[in-house]
Structure formats: structure tokens, C-alpha cells
Amino acid sequence: MTSLSRRQFLGASAGLCAGLISPLPLRAAQPGMTLRAETRTLDIGGRAATVMGLRNGAGGQGLTLDPGQRFQVALTNGLSENTIVHWHGQIPPNDQDGAPNTNPMLTPGETRAYDFAPRPGTFWMHSHVPQQEIALLAAPLIVRRPEDLTRDRQEVTMFLHDFAFAPPEAVLAALQAPEGDHAGSGGGMSGEMSGGMRGGMAMDHGTMKMAPSGSGGMGSGMGMASGMGSGAMAMGQGMTMDLNDYEFDAYLANDRTLDDPEVVAVERGGRVLLRIVNASSMTAYWIDTGSEQARLVAVDGDPVQPVTGRRFPLAQAQRLEIELDLPKDGAALPVLALREGSRAQTGLVLAPPGARVAKLPLEAAQAAAPVANDMRLEAALRAQVPLPDRAVTRRIMVMLNGTMQPYRWTINNQVWDDHQPILASHGDRVELTFHNMSMMAHPMHLHGHVFQVVALGSQRLRGALRDTVLVPAMSTVTVALDAGQAARWMMHCHHMGHLANGMMTELSVLPTA
């Protein structure tokens, strides 16, 4: 049995006392782990909502593994439909990757075994069927490092979702509908759009002005340079980008809305490691730590040289690990996720014993800026252990395009059904340049690989290691990787509306001669 520190025990006890199902189990999962894809019921604003989830053997959502522990899991499909689960950011053998185009679907009632050595860090698992991911079929996957067991800090996971009462099929159908139909089902919980119009308005009301390079929402205490190179943002002042294709009914942190948040018991003046996962299907956020400076220590599971700040961008499918030193006066500390281009917000509260927990509004005083409007954090990030220096053997341009009307999204001018594989050979040092010619930002994810961000526009850098990178509208981002197992690896936009409407291709890694 895994021992818990006093701080970990405090956090676990708070969840039990509140009668909550924590996204993390109370101890790391042991050999013979099980997961079950199934439906579950949440209370969203006083309404019962049937969603999906991944239940572990202890009854919680997701898994936590100890250092060195293998990922040995039996996954059962308890749904009435086929499913498949992807271990996002992990690098299993290709036949265990969990992609429907390379692995067989799990039929109802079927159980499948998985066994591989996991990468340490903050990851997640999710269905690779867009409709099911919209229905919340996702959960945390935390793989602890040895130092996580020895450092005097409490771990807290914040798992973010966007939620609609409408069925997922209706959500995707609304994206194809004429202007004016891109709203939730009238649950009354959606935030205000940037144009000042509330849920029910068309996507073009959600456009935001692009700020000049180097300006935007990162100025609240970020310990970094004040600007970027001129090539890092390709859109000039006065141009617009499209945001927020769909007006969801609610935004959730650990399955709860901000008017009834999870309150995590913490130690007065203690230290917390926040593991934040953006599992939202179409929504990007700013993570806001309010009055307290935080240290960003890892992104997408891989450590970075620490960056201090109070507000950090988080695109779809990305993860942050943030260290916080809690107030010594014993005050409660809300940690918020602010929806870009909107006043909507969600989050949780870190509260030591006896702290007063104030009521938090579902909407902020003003709309948050677009996440892709400010790439200074991406430009400042430096991997703790970068890729080894090697000559690039293959350079590949990947064109991203699409339109709102008709709602169609492409890679290299092709939807998935017509795609041509991108080719590399095992062991190649590959540079992929994502060239976004559309008016929306795209969080691009590559299966089976870790890549390093090496250029934003014309600005070369030795950036963070990632598995998902945000490519702003009308701009380029270049990543470097070493081509892995000879196999077909999916590469796609992690915005579920874009993925469902064509925005996927594959990196086909060929064996060396």
C-alpha cells in the first residue's frame, strides 16, 4: 500500500468528507488495475446530467501510478456502444495506442489488457470518438516521479471539462448549422461571449481582435521577457480570429461548477502541486492563481525550467504542473480556469482548516483574452531535458486550414477520409512546421511521440517538450522529434469539432532499411 504524506492525507480526507468522487484515487493503483468505460450521473446546476466516465477499481475516475510501476490495466467497455481509449501523451506500443484507425474498437462488454512502461508526469486518458469525448469519457492518468513521494507538498488534480445538456451528436450538428444555432440547450450556465452577446449567438460574435505581438493577458506577474520576436505572431493588429465554436451550458472542474466547487483541504502555509488537465472538447482557458504567485514546473508531463506567474494559458489537451505556496494567513485560495473570449469561469478552492470560503460567480467581471493571442509563455519555456542535438534529416510542412461556413477543417488541404500519410523513417530527426492558414487556433497532437517546440514563426528557440502544441491563427509553429516505432501514428487537431469534421492525418513511420 502506498503511504500518503500528511498533506496528501488532508486532501484525500476533504474529498471524502464532502462525499465527492475525486479524479484521483486515494492511493496509487496496484498491479491488476481495472478501468471501466460507463455512464454516470452528475448534478450540473441542479439538473441531473448523464455523462460518461472511466471508473477505476476503487470507484474513482482515472488512475495514479507509483514511480516505476507498469501500466497494467484491464479496460472493460461497459457502454452500449463501441469505444476506444487513448492514453494521451504516453508512448505505448502502437497496438495499444487507442486510436480507432489503427486499433480495433472495444465492443460492448469486451475487456482488453494493456501493458507498457509509462512516462512519468501528468497525463490523461480519453475516448478517441469525438462524440464520447464531448460526453466526458475522459479521466486523469498520473504517473508519479520518485521525487513526488519525497517532496513536502500536497498533490491536487484539477480536471477541466466543457459540458452541454444537448447530446454530443446535436453539439456536432449545431456546428454545421446556419449562423445563430451554435448554442447549448438553454441550461442557463453559459458565459458571456466577447461581443457582449449571450448563448445562442453565432460563432462570428465570438471573434476577438488580435493584439500586437508581445501584448495580451500574460502581464500579471509573469517572470519572462516582455515580448516575442516579430515572426512569432503572424496576425497584425486589427485582424480577427474566431473563438468558441459552441456555447456550452457549463464549465466544470473535477465535475463541478464554480457555484458549487470542490473545496480541497490544505495545510495553512503549505505547498501544493497542482496538476491541471484541460480535457475540454473545444475550450481553452487561462489558469488564474489570483493573489498568489505560482511556479510552472512542467507542461504536458515534462519538466521545464520554472516560470513564475499568476496566469497561464492552457489549450485543449494540454497539461500544466504548478507549484503554489499557500497564504500564511490561512485564507482560502480559489484557482480559476477562465474561458478564453468569455466571462465564463470554473475552478476549485484550496482551503486550510477554518478558512472562510466565499461564494464564487460563474462569470468574471470581464472576458478573458484569446489564449493564442499571447504566445510569450510558449516562447519563454525551456525543457529541463531537451532533445539531444542532432542534425535534422527530414523537414515537413503541415498545412492547417478550414472554414466556419461550411464547417470543414483540413490538414494539407485534405480531410481524414482523403488524407495522404506524412512519411518519415524510424530514427529520423524530423522538424514539422505547422502552418495555420485558418482563422482559428489549433491544438495539434501527435500520437506516439514527444516533440520539442523549436520555432514560433521565424523565432528559433529550444522550447518545451510537448505532445500538444497550440498553433495560432495565420501563423507557424515548428516542432522537432525523433521518429519512433515504425507504425501509423495519428496526428490531429484536439478541438473535437475540428477533429470530427476532418482535421486528422497520420505520421507513417517506415522501418529503416
Q: Omega before 406 cis (within 30°)?
A: yes
pLDDT at 240: 63
**Which residues, 6 or more positions from 289, have their beta carbon under 8 angstroms from its beta carbon?**
310, 311, 322, 324, 333, 335
Rg (CA), the chain: 21
Q: What is the CATH number of domain 6-145?
A: 2.60.40.420
pLDDT at 32: 78
Sequence-distant contacts of 49-56: CB under 8 A, at least 24 apart: 49/163, 49/165, 51/135, 51/136, 51/163, 52/79, 52/127, 52/132, 52/135, 52/136, 52/137, 53/136, 53/137, 53/138, 53/139, 54/85, 54/125, 54/137, 54/138, 54/139, 56/25, 56/29
Is a pLDDT exceeding 60 seen at residue 15? no
Q: Is 313 in contact with 284 (CB distance < 8 Å)?
A: yes
Reading the block at residue 166, the C-alpha cell is 444537448
Reading the block at residue 165, the C-alpha cell is 445538456
Domain boundaries, the chain: 6-145, 168-380, 394-510
Band the pLDDT of 179: cuts 50, 70, 90: low
pLDDT at 226: 30
Is a pLDDT exceeding 60 seen at residue 295? yes
**First-to-last C-alpha distance (Å) of the chain:** 47
| Same fold: 168-380 with 394-510 | yes
Is a pLDDT exceeding 50 seen at residue 224? no
Q: For 488-500, what is each residue's pLDDT tens digit?
A: 999 999 999 999 9
Q: For 425-445, what is each residue's pLDDT tens digit?
A: 999 999 999 999 999 999 999
Q: Is 106 in contact with 67 (CB distance < 8 Å)?
A: no
168-380 CATH, one of 3.40.50.1950, 3.40.50.300, 2.60.40.420, 3.30.450.40: 2.60.40.420
**Which residues, 6 or more positions from 224, have their beta carbon under 8 angstroms from its beta carbon?**
218, 307, 309, 376, 377, 379, 380
394-510 CATH, one of 3.90.1150.10, 2.60.60.20, 3.40.50.2300, 2.60.40.420: 2.60.40.420
- Walk across the sheet containing 111-116 and list its strands: 47-56, 33-44, 71-77, 111-116
